[in-house]
Amino acid sequence: MKCPIETRESAEVLLAYCARKLDAARTGILEEHIRICPVCREFADAQRAVWEALDAWEAAPVSADFDRRLYRRIENEVGWLDLLLRPLRPWVARNALPIAAAVAVVLTAGVLLDRPAAAPPAPEESAQVESLQPEQVEKALDDMQVVREFHRLVRPDPGAPLM
Amino acid sequence: MGAAAAALDYDAELMLRVKEGDGASFGVLLDKHRSSVVHFLYRMVQNHAVAEELAQEVFLRVYRSRASYEPTAKFTTWLFRIATHLALNALRDTKHERSQEHLDDDTSEMPVRQISDSRPSIEQYMVYQARLAEIRQAIGTLPEKQRAAVLMHKYEEMEYSQIAKVLSCSESAVKSLLFRAYETLRARLAHMA
């Protein structure tokens, strides 16, 4: 048999042996090996000592009132919800229809009020800029030229020659 | 069907009955697993009062979860996953408070072990207490996950695969945790042979 101590994977066999979890056939083979291998014998003896030491560690018994305390906590949890809803129960039973109607009204109002507001109107300036066409600009310039000519004719420059 | 599979079916079946409102089935589950959960938590946190408080929380969580329970895993895997989670949180929360004095102070809670005679001598009792303190200290100094793995392997006799599910890690990670943990324990406790 190959020495199990050589790899960690194989050492699991020794751990299983010390935990008494190895089947009879493998136990026999391993015990044969342990008899002739001092390293494995040392490992197995140390692991057995750990196992026995842990066996000696007994936990204290569970308190006698463990279940009572647990059930009280469970009852308290159920009780709180029950306590909160209990005063409302007869009133809810008597007024189920009006309550349902009121809830529906509130929900509808909420939906209506929660609608997104209408998009803000576009600024006036940008609308003007968008509506100006090149022909309009040209016409405005022509008009300004006419007005300028009119002014020159109505109030002629005293130094300028008359036409 | 193996014994483990049968146990899986039985515990899961009980939990499904709890889901349907059968309180008596919860009592059966509590009876069946109360001691192992309390003892596991005691060995994890090494304080009996804290262990019982945490165990109460474990069973309370089981009860609270009854409505959403689905038997996707072994019941004890789920139970010990809750217990381990609570224990690791408790250990992290009180890390700064724990000290060697605390570990030593808790020995009064231990049951007196009957060694050979029905009434052990005071010397035998003192030797036993000293050994226990040493064992508890050795376990207490293991990193928390290694400790949980050793306790589930040694005292709950869980397979590597189940410990892996409880600790949410791979089976090879569990083997590695256990190998390192036992290595430390051999170094500290081998002289007790």
CB contact under 8 A, A49 and B178: no
Average pLDDT in the B85-106 region?
72
Q: Where is average pLDDT lowest: A75-84, A98-107, B27-36, B125-134? A: A75-84
Nearest CA distance, B89 vs chain A (angstrom): 21
Cα distances (angstroms) measured from residue B170 to each of A103, B88, B164, B165, B184: 52, 19, 5, 8, 21
CB contact under 8 A, A59 and B135: no
DSSP at A113: H
DSSP at A117: P
Taking the domains of chain B in order of start, what are their residue ranges?
A: 1-98, 110-140, 142-193
CB contact under 8 A, A62 and B52: yes
Distance, in Å, from the CA atom of B83 to the CA atom of B12, rounded to the nearest integer, reads: 17
Dihedral of CA B169/B173/B178/B180: which sign? negative
| pLDDT 10s digits, A83-120 | 666 666 666 666 767 777 887 888 888 777 776 555 44
* Residue in A closest to B188 by C-alpha: A50
Distance, in Å, from the CA atom of A51 to the CA atom of B157, rounded to the nearest integer, reads: 12
Fold held by B1-98 = Rna Polymerase Sigma Factor; Chain: A (1.10.1740)
Query: What tokens appear for B93 in the block?
Result: 């929360």
Residue type, A70: L
Distance, in Å, from the CA atom of A125 to the CA atom of A135, rounded to the nearest integer, reads: 19
Residue B184, pLDDT score: 95
Interface predicted TM-score of the whole assembly (ipTM), two decimals: 0.79
Distance, in Å, from the CA atom of A4 to the CA atom of A6, rounded to the nearest integer, reads: 5
Distance, in Å, from the CA atom of B175 to the CA atom of B149, rounded to the nearest integer, reads: 9
Of A9, A53, A58, the CB nearest to B113: A58
Question: SS3 breakdown of chain B: % helix, strand, coil, rounded to 5?
Answer: 80, 0, 20
Distance, in Å, from the CA atom of A143 to the CA atom of A136, rounded to the nearest integer, reads: 10
Distance, in Å, from the CA atom of B86 to the CA atom of B80, rounded to the nearest integer, reads: 10
Q: Where is average pLDDT lowest: A136-145, B37-46, B62-71, B125-134? A: A136-145
Helix axis angle, B171-189 to B160-167, nearest 10°: 100
Of B136, B179, B189, the CB nearest to A49: B189
- Alpha-helical runs (H) found in A19-133: 24-36, 38-55, 66-85, 89-94, 96-113, 124-131
Query: What tokens appear for B148 in the block?
Result: 């949980």
Average pLDDT in the B4-30 region?
86
- pLDDT surpasses 50 at B66: yes
Q: Give the length of chain A.
A: 163
Residue A123, pLDDT score: 45
| Residue with the two structure tokens 């022509």 | A142
Fold held by B142-193 = Arc Repressor Mutant, subunit A (1.10.10)
Residue B40, pLDDT score: 97
| pLDDT 10s digits, B148-162 | 999 999 999 999 999
User: Are the C-beta atoms of B146 and B183 separated by less than 8 Å?
Assistant: no
Q: Where is average pLDDT lowest: A4-13, A78-87, A109-118? A: A78-87
CB contact under 8 A, A62 and B35: yes
Distance, in Å, from the CA atom of B5 to the CA atom of A16, rounded to the nearest integer, reads: 22
Distance, in Å, from the CA atom of B83 to the CA atom of B120, rounded to the nearest integer, reads: 35
